[in-house]
Structures are given as C-alpha cells and as structure tokens.
Amino acid sequence: MGNAIEIKNVTKTFGKTIANKNVTLNIHEGEILSLLGENGSGKTTLMNMLSGIYFPDSGAIFVGGKQVEIRSPKDAYELGIGMVHQHFKLVDVFNAVENIALGFDTKRFGSFNLKRVKARAEEICKKYGFDLNMDQKVYEMSVSQKQTLEIVKVLYRGADFLILDEPTAVLTPQETEKLFAVIRNMKSDGKSVIIITHKLKEVLEISDRVAILRKGEFVGDIATKDATESSLTEMMMGEKVELNIERSLPVNTMTRIEINNLSVTDREGVKILDNISFKIKSGEILGIAGISGNGQKELLESIAGLQKTKPGSSIKFFAGNEGEQEMQLIGMTPRMIRDAGIHLAFVPEDRLGMGLVGSMGMDGNMMLKTYDSGRSFVTDRKLPRIQAERIRKRLGVVTPSLSTPVSRLSGGNVQKVLVGRELASNPTVLMTAYAVRGLDINTSYTIYKLLNEEKQKGVAVVYVGEELDVLLELCDRIVVLCGGKVSGILDARNTTKEEVGLLMTSYRGEVQEQ
Amino acid sequence: MKEPLIRIVKRDMSPIPHKILVRAIAIILALVVDALFIYFVTGLNPFSVYVVMFNGTFGNQMRILWALRDMVTLLGIGIALAPAFKMKFWNIGAEGQVLIGGLATALVMTYCGNTFSTPVLFILMVASAIIAGGVWGLIPAIFKSKWGTNETLFTLMMNYIAISFTSAATNYMRGQASSLGKLNMGTKAGWMPKVFGQAFNVNIIVVFALMVVMFIYLTYSKHGYEITVVGESENTALYAGINVTKVRIRTMIISGAICGLVGFLLVSGRDQTISTNTAGGNGFTAIIVAWLAKFNPFYMALIAALLTFLSKGAAEIASTYALNDFAADILTGIILFFILGSEFFINYKLIFRHKEVRG
Amino acid sequence: MIESLIAWILRAIPFGTIIMYGAMGEILTEKSGNLNLGVPGIMYLGGFAGFASSYYYEKLVPDPNGAVCVTLAIVCCLAASMLGGLIYSFLTITLRANQNVTGLALTIFGKGFANFFGAYILNGQSYTAAPLANSMFAHKIFPFADKAGVLGKTVFGYGFMVYAAIIMAIVMGIILSKTRVGLNLRAVGENPATADADAVSVNKYKYLATCIGAGISGLGGMYYVLDYNQGIWATTGQIEALGWLAVALVIFTTWKPVNAIWGAYLFGMFYWLYQFLPDIMGWKVASYVTDLIQMVPYVVTIIVLIVVSLRKKKENQPPESLGLSYFREDR
C-alpha cells in the first residue's frame, strides 16, 4: 500500500487561533482511516484543506506523489477527493438525481441528461449496497438518507478518497451498521475512506488505522488491531494537566432541580435527549460532559423554558423554603419562570444570537430580562447603566463606552458582559454552556472564580464544558451525556480523565443516581 | 486558480467620520451626475440650475412652507414604517395604509360632516383613519405570525385593494359629477383649521411632534426595546421572555395606524378631498427614506428634506425651462442609487491582492 | 351575449400578454434569489425605449421599413431594460444593497426616466404615435384568423408578441426544469452556499438571470405601448399598475413560467371583468362597483399567497433564499 495522499507540515490559523500546527499525515490507498480527537482538535479543519474549503497557511499536500494546490471543492474532485460534511450541502426541493447533477460541467460529464445520471447513480448504489430512491425529494428524506445521498454524490464525481465528517453522529445503531457495511464495500473496491470521529467503539469496529490529533497537532497513529479503548483515550486526551483551580467543598447541598425522564426530539423526530434523569443541587457545581451536540444545548434550554419536551418529561424546581411547594417547570415560558420568582440565570452557548442583543450596548443588554419591571411606559435606563458600569469595573470589560454595541467587542468581553449580567440577577440556579469557549486563559480563570463564588453562596451551578481537565478540577459532580442519554454520574474528585472520556464515547446502559 | 484581485472583508466597525465621509461623497457624486443629466437635457450651466432649484424650494416663505408640507408627508410615512422595519417586518404597504386612512377620513367628513359638532367630528375622523390604517397593517401581520406568509408580497398587494376601495368610494361620492372636488365645500366641515394662515401647517406640526414621539418610543420605551430585540434575533427575544407574536402584531397595528393618521392629515389638512393619488407614491419613497435613515426619525427628516429639495427643485426647473415634473423622479432615483451603493463602503472594506507570501 | 364573451377574451389576452412578459422576467430573476421590485420601472424603461426608437425611426427615415422598425424597437427595449436590471444587479449583488429598497428606487427612476423623456418627445402634444410600429406589432400573423369564426378570432387573431410570449414561457419552463443551466440557477436561488460548493458561479448566475429577466419584463412594457395602446405614448401611470400586477402574477404562478400563460389570461379576464361580465349577465352595475371588481386579481393573489404558506408544499414556495444577498464570508 502506497501513500496516496501525503499531508506535510501543514499549518492553518484563523486569526490568533491555531487550528492545525505542523501536521504530517499519510493516507494509504484502500484503507479505512479513523481521524480521532476531541472537539476542537482540528480534525475537520485538516480535512477541509483536502476538500478545498480552506487553504493551508503553510505546508504541502501531495496526491499520488505530486504536489497539488487544492483551492476549491472542484479542484478536490478533480484529484478524486470528496468530503461529506456534517452539515449537508443539499438543495431541499431537488430530488436525489438533481442534487447529484448539480454543478457538473459539460467537459467532464458530457451533455445534460438526468436519466443517464440516474442510471449511473443507481449503478453506484447497487455496487456498494446503498438504499436510495433517486426520485425522492431531499426534504422528504431522513437524515440517514440525506447522508447516503451525499456519499453517492461524492462517489458519482469519481472520488477515490472519501472523507466522512462524523457520519454516525446522526444515525441510529441500525443505520450505523448499514453505513459500515457500505464503507467496507467501498474499501474492497479499492477506495480510501477517512472517518472523522470520536466514538471509540466505532473506531475499533470499522477502521484499519487510527490517527490521533490533539489541540491541532498530530499525536501519532496506530494500527487498529493494536489499539484498545483505553490506549486510544489516553492518546486522545493526553496527560492530565494541573490547572490549579481553587475548589471548595460543597456546602449546604440540597436538591434544587430534579429532572425525570426528560426527552426531546428534533424536527425530524430524531431523539436528542432520551429519557434522562438527574438532580441539580445547591452549593455545588455540576459539570455536564459530553461530545458537543449530544443534547447539552437542549438540556439547558428545556430547563430554561425554551425547548419543547416530549410528554412524560418532568423538571421540578424546589425553592427549599419550609412549606413551599415544588414547581413543575415543563410548560412554563421564560417569562412565567421569572414571574414565579425563580431566579434562573442562563449563559447560553450562542452568546450574540441568544444571550445578548448585538446591536445594543452593555447598558441596553443589562435590562434584557428586566426591561419590563415597573409600571412606567419607558424603560429605566439609570439602573442598567449603573449595573453595566459595575460589571465593567468588576470584570474588567474592555469597551470604548457602555453604549458601544456589544457585537463589536471581542469574544472574551462579550462573555464577560453576559456572565456579568446573569450573575447580577442574584440567581438561585446558574446554568452556563461552554462558558470559556474561545476565551484566553486569564478570562477563563476569571469565569472559574466567579462560578466558585456563586457556589459558595449556595447557588446551584451547572457547567457544560468540553475540556475534561477543567471539568475535573472545577466541578463537584459530573454528569456524562452520550447519544442523548446519561452514561454516567461521577464524583469529580474521584474520577479520571480516561473514565470520563470512555463514558463520553460509549454508552453502557442505564445509570441511576445514587 | 489565483487569489482574487480584490478581496471583500466585513468591517467590524467604521468610525463616525468615515461614515459621514462616505455618505457625503455619495451625495456629492450623485449631485454631479444629476448636474450632468440636467446639462445634457437643458444645455444649461448646472450650477445656475442648482441655484434655480434652490430658489424653487427656499425662494420665499410660501415655497418653504410648501416644501415643508411635502416633506412631512414623506417623513410622516417614514416614521410610521420605522417600528415595523426595525422589527425586520417588511411593510411595503404604506401606500395603501395611508390611502385607506385617508378614505376613512373622507367618508366620515362626507357622511357625518353635518351631524356632529366639530370636535366630535374630528375625533371620529382621526379614530376612523387610525383604525382603518391599523387594520390594514394588522391583516398581513396576523398571517405572518400564524403561517409565515411572506409579508413583503402581502402588504404590496394590500396597496391595490386600498386603491380599488378608494376609487370605488370616490366614484360613488361624486355621483354624476366629473370629479369629486373638495369635500364639504359649503360647510367646510372636517377641514383642518388654519394655523398661522395655512391648514397644512397643522400637518407640519403634527408630523414634527410625531418625529420626536417616535424617537422616544423607539429609543426609550419598553415597546421600543422589545421591537429592537425581536428585530435583532427571535431567539434572543424568546430567551428574554418576549412574546414575539404579540410584539409583531402590536407593532404592525401601530405602523398602519400612523400611516392612517398621515392619510387623515393629507385629506383634512392638505387636500380636503380624496383620490387614488392622495398618497402619490410617497408610501414607496418613504420605505427608502426609513431604510436609509436606519430607522432614526431625525435622520429621516434629513433624507426627506433632501428628496423634497430635489423634487421641488426639479419642478422649478421644469416650469422655468418648460420641461416636466418627472425630472424629479430621475434625480431622486439617481441620488438613491448612490446612497444605497455607498452603504457597501461603510459595511465592507476592499483588500487588494498583494504579493503572495506562501512558500 | 356571445359577442360580449368574445370581446372580453379579445381584450383579456393582449392584456394578459403584457403582464405575462413582466411576470416571466421576474420569475427568472426571482429564481436566482433576487426579489426585484423594480419591475414597474423596468417595464417603463422598456416601453419607452421601444417607443422612442420606433418613433424616431419612423420620423427621421424617409422610407421606413416595418421589419427594421420592429427589430430596432425590440433591440432598444432590451438594451434599456437590461441596463435597468444591471443597475439593480450591481447594487444588490456586488454592493449587497437591500433588494427591496433598491427595487423601489429603480421603479422611481424608471418611471421618472420614461415619463420625462416621453413628455420631451411629446413636446406639448397630449400624445403621439408610432403608427408603423403599431401596425407591425398588431399585424395578425395567422392570415386565416378572420375567416375561421369564433375560434379563429379568439385564438389566432393577435400579433406575434402574443404567441412569442407563450413560446417563451414554455421554453423557459423547459430550461428551468430540464437543463443544466436551469438546475444550477434554481440551486442558486434555493441554496447559494450549496451551489457555490458545487462549483456553480453564484454571482454570474444572479447577474445573468436578473439582467435577462429585466429584458423580458421590459418587453411587456414595449408590447403595451406599441400594440396594446396602439403605438401611443401617453403619460399615464398605467404601466406602473401593470408592473405590480406582474409581480402579483409571479406569486400566482408559484414561480412556474408555464403557469404564467393561463395565469396571465386569467388576470386579464379578471381585469376586464367589470366591463364584460355585467354585459354578459345582463346586469346593470353602477360604475363604482366596477372599481371594486378591479381588486379581484390582487385578492386572488393574496389568497394564493396564503394558501401556499398554509400548505407548506415545498415546490410552491418562493425560492428559499429570495431577498437575501449571498456572501461567502471568508472561506
């Protein structure tokens, strides 16, 4: 087996972030290669440079021994490289054939003839065992059918190298099995398949070789037959890093929110949260670990009253005062929750698209949840200004003025404004989603410190995070989500990175809270 | 494949002097093109033509008043549209909302003119105009909220239904006469009282007052705050606990109602009659005014003033050099093209290709 | 009674032809994702250029030739209206200006331009005519039309532009649904990011569709002046109303050119309903009622718009990215 594609010393940066650093990786002919790594380890960026979406800052790519420049998806196709992205690029009102035929040029594919395209596409389906109705419209297709269509589209264009970006993330186990069967067929036909993934079980099941990326760098590769789940986890997670986050013991813990049998499905009917149950307690930081997109967003939004849940779900709030009734949060809007006197602070993942109004300044954003207090027709603008000024000083927000639109501030400052506002609301429960994503070290530590202060005040803190080191040092307990289910609830002081990592990547059956 | 010659990058922020500079250059360029146009048509020195235009608009007190009268029509409708646009609701139906408000006013004048005392009559006229305009705005908003029906096309169609009603009503009211003429010519019932010698001075006062009120409404009120949040992102609105449907419907009623009020002003204060030309295309031009002003009522006043200057000035050229009034539309169109195009240079910057540094 | 019906059809079909051109152009434009509210302005530009060129040709050339006159009118009409489309394209595609606002500005400009120079040519007269052009456009191309009875009269008794419109609608329908260009164009209007990733040149398609679309819309204006209005340029607001009706028709057809054929004639029937239906039914209707009847096309369009949004059938929706400008960000 020769090196069909060679990536040599490739580096790619976006602004100040380094997505890939000096990566050297070979892809052989006729192999199934797993590209393994945590979120943000640079897997997708690296593959996007093969498929013509990005162009490397430095380094070289060789295909068949010749150095090439891949400037567009078209260039990639001409080299026989095709990629199926996580977000499908399909036209909804077109049927399968039309989507396959889109963008062909006459030079390569001859004159326009949908019948011929259909016949050839069906031939491909038969050859590899795809199950696809060529006349079906994309908007009528299930996620797995759309994925099949994307793969057929890539094969139709003559790809010998297929890159699949987290292909199983959206599939049921049965569909996954079917996909693996076709991948094996493609391999036996001499094609190379690269699967970007972080599901260890699948890596071991399907691939011939595993290449691991961590923090943008190539860590190493290993033949799958020599690998085990724990050896892969270790390579993926790396050595434990001491962060020295101050952590106090939980004080005065009591159940604040009890979640029972919470289920959420998306618009296509795919289960995002599947019957999950756990408790959120005051005076502690509860970490939520999981590969991103495993239901974290929906979980927090369900609690905040922003997500439609399936019947049978229950989210109970306990005020904790003597004689006060528990409250069912399901069916309540954010306004109703607020009016019921529950101080629920929520730092959402989408800071400017949900948590803040980009065109408003700090002052305007301060009153997003309180603008309608009081009877006056006009908003009270004095208090928000005072509050904004206080947050600016306390958290060191860098902004030209309090009324400068927050969309013009840097990511770290935007987050400080959002977290600052939510903390100022004197919360009983504080939920944060990826609170330190994209922030520099100092800002991150500021946020950790703030969360700890809240915990000591007796607030129930929920921290959804992606960096395991942080979760292990910051949180008291960790709930691990995998495929929309709770795959484990761990004591953060007595667990290891490997344990969490394994639970994140493989579901091992129902977990009950002790 | 090569790096493109020019790369376009979004600007994070452009300083205010830069914005003013870009817009000033755009207007100056437009005035130069306008001058060239005038030169080619009339063969006259463009500068002396601008002097004529200036005199036509500001020549004497009466002309200034007339110009103000025309300007406030445009401004009033622009003010009405501002809350809808700020909410990202494309209300293209101002023309119809104004007309239906004017029609309601005219019907009350005609059929209740002799029944009620003047104050009651005016209350009825204003109320009916506001309700009619509000309903005209409400209908598309309901469908947008319920089924996501495209509001741009819906409000556009509503214009023609209003025109149809208006032409039917004027037809009915005039009976055998060849034209409707001024309503209540004998009794002058429902005619706006003269203030400082002119009935339309009331329009000017009312619209300028509205301008301030709308600015306060959008900038300081709770409603204005909700409108901004909904326009920015529906997700944020939900997060903040804002009822998006309620805000959308309420805002469109307000937008339509103010258009209706402008219709009342035009009928009672300016024309004392109604025709399908009462709104006279101002409903469409005001859309551009509101958009270019970024929904700020004071900027709207500036843009409305510029456009009024062009149309008044063009009318003056037309009468001085025996041309026709449509020159105003050409001059307006040209200036709008330039201002619209200039926005690009405020939001984006161009980066020219430099020497490749890749190894 | 049957005479009234025939007269009605004879009125409705040429009327429908005007807005059919307008609507076909706009369908092509909207298929690329551009909502051009400048259609009325473009129809003014096309109508004026067609009229002005044939007027001067007839006036200045000693022995004007019919075919030359027609060709000249069409070429000038296309040039002027495509120029209007080019202004719109440059502002909205290259400079990413707001489509609605730019379209409205184009309508103001086109209306002003046509009427200003129209009045310039009129030079004090209330109207003027291009008789040769009119006779060429109105010439019935089927010689047997007059002898073939009712059918001949109502089906074959029109000038060539009526049949050209039908052919154009069919051809456009075929291009959109059966060719590579059509497939790519639809993809651009639906999902430009996908089209871009599949190596379709998004801006090129948008420019071409918008400019060609403007040219086709402009033909509607020219047909109005040189045939429907008997070669007379009159400074009235008629073309503007027709332009908006064409925009309405686009919705009515649910963005399918072939539907524009019967849709346009139906709109023509609706439009002239007020004059002929009372005749046929023997009603006596007050003139103000006829004014009310004129809203029928718009009401029907609104109903179609609502039904389409209600049924949510994907094939009948506006192109998904209609009204949005496309910016690939820095990839």
**Is C327 inside any structural domain?**
no
Chain C residues in contact with A94 by the CB 8 A cut-off are 183, 186-187, 190
**Model confidence band, residue B357 (pLDDT cutoffs 50, 70, 90):** very low
Q: Could you tell me the two tokens for C149?
A: 């009875």
pLDDT tens column, A297-348: 899 999 999 888 999 899 988 887 766 778 898 888 888 998 888 889 999 9
C-alpha gyration radius of chain C: 20
pLDDT value of position B209: 94
The residue among B236, B242, B247 with the most chain A CBs within 10 A of its CB, best to mutate, is B236
Of C179, C184, C199, the CB nearest to A73: C199
Using an 8 Å Cβ cutoff, are A334 and B240 in contact? yes
pLDDT tens column, B180-224: 888 887 888 888 888 888 888 888 899 999 999 999 999 999 999
Using an 8 Å Cβ cutoff, are A3 and A26 in contact? yes
Note whether B238 contacts A381, CB cutoff 8 Å. Answer: no
Of A338, A346, A408, the CB nearest to B12: A408
C-alpha distances (whole Å) from B156 to each of B256, C299, C302, C308 are 13, 11, 10, 17
Note whether C194 contacts A112, CB cutoff 8 Å. Answer: no
Q: Which of C177-181, C217-221, C317-321 has the highest mean pLDDT?
A: C217-221
Closest CA in chain C for residue B38: C116
**Model confidence band, residue C330 (pLDDT cutoffs 50, 70, 90):** very low
pLDDT tens column, A455-494: 998 899 999 987 788 888 889 999 998 888 888 899 988 8
Chain A residues in contact with B222 by the CB 8 A cut-off are 371-372, 377-379
pTM of the model: 0.86
Closest CA in chain C for residue B89: C100
- Give the 3-state secondary structure of chain B: CCCCCEEEEECCCCCHHHHHHHHHHHHHHHHHHHHHHHHHHHCCCHHHHHHHHHHHHHCCHHHHHHHHHHHHHHHHHHHHHHHHHHCCCCCCCHHHHHHHHHHHHHHHHHHHCCCCCHHHHHHHHHHHHHHHHHHHHHHHHHHHHHHCCCHHHHHHHHHHHHHHHHHHHHHHHHCCCCCCCCCCCCCCCCCCCCECCECHHHHHHHHHHHHHHHHHHHHHEHHHHHHHHHHHCHHHHHHCCCCHHHHHHHHHHHHHHHHHHHHHHHHHHHHCCCCCCCCCCHHHHHHHHHHHCCCCHHHHHHHHHHHHHHHHHHHHHHHHCCCCCCHHHHHHHHHHHHHHHHHHHHHEEEEECCCCCCC
* Rounded-to-integer distance, Cα B310 and Cα B49, Å: 12
Q: A3-14 and A58-63: which strand pairing?
A: antiparallel
Of B9, B161, B284, the CB nearest to C299: B161
**Is C322 inside any structural domain?**
no
List, in sequence order, every residue forming a beta bridge with C265; answer none if it has no partner.
none
Note whether B143 contacts C109, CB cutoff 8 Å. Answer: no
Of A54, A103, A104, the CB nearest to C195: A103
Q: Tell me whether A19 touches chain C (CB under 8 Å).
A: no
Sign of CA dihedral B76, B78, B79, B83: positive
**Is C270 inside any structural domain?**
yes
Q: Tell me whether A73 touches chain C (CB under 8 Å).
A: yes
Chain C residues in contact with A114 by the CB 8 A cut-off are 178
Q: How far is CA B204 from the centre of its chain?
A: 14
Chain B residues in contact with C244 by the CB 8 A cut-off are 156, 159-160
**Is C324 inside any structural domain?**
no
Closest CA in chain A for residue B13: A408
pLDDT value of position A235: 83
Q: Which residues of C touch A (CB under 8 A)?
A: 178-180, 183-184, 186-187, 190-191, 193-195, 197-200, 314-315, 317, 320, 331
Chains touching C by CB (3 or more pairs below 8 Å): A, B
Q: Tell me whether A135 touches chain C (CB under 8 Å).
A: no
Q: How many Cβ pairs within 8 Å bridge chains A and C?
A: 60
Note whether C200 contacts A112, CB cutoff 8 Å. Answer: no
Average pLDDT over residues B112-131: 91
Q: Tell me whether A53 touches chain C (CB under 8 Å).
A: yes
Identify the CATH number of the domain in which residue C239 sits: 1.10.3470
pLDDT value of position B265: 94
Note whether A103 contacts C199, CB cutoff 8 Å. Answer: yes
**Is C326 inside any structural domain?**
no
Full set of structural domains in chain A with CATH: 3-237 (3.40.50.300), 243-343+427-514 (3.40.50.300), 355-425 (no CATH)
* Rounded-to-integer distance, Cα B247 and Cα B188, Å: 40
Q: How many domains does chain C have?
A: 1
**Is C302 inside any structural domain?**
yes
pLDDT value of position B358: 39
In which domain, by residue range, is C203 found? 2-316
**Is C129 inside any structural domain?**
yes
Closest CA in chain A for residue C179: A112
**Is C173 inside any structural domain?**
yes
Average pLDDT over residues B21-35: 89
pLDDT tens column, A93-113: 999 999 998 876 666 667 788
Of B160, B164, B333, the CB nearest to C108: B333
Amino acid at A272: I
Chain C residues in contact with A98 by the CB 8 A cut-off are 183
C-alpha distances (whole Å) from C303 to each of B27, B158, C298, C306 are 42, 12, 9, 5
The SS3 assignment for A324 reads coil
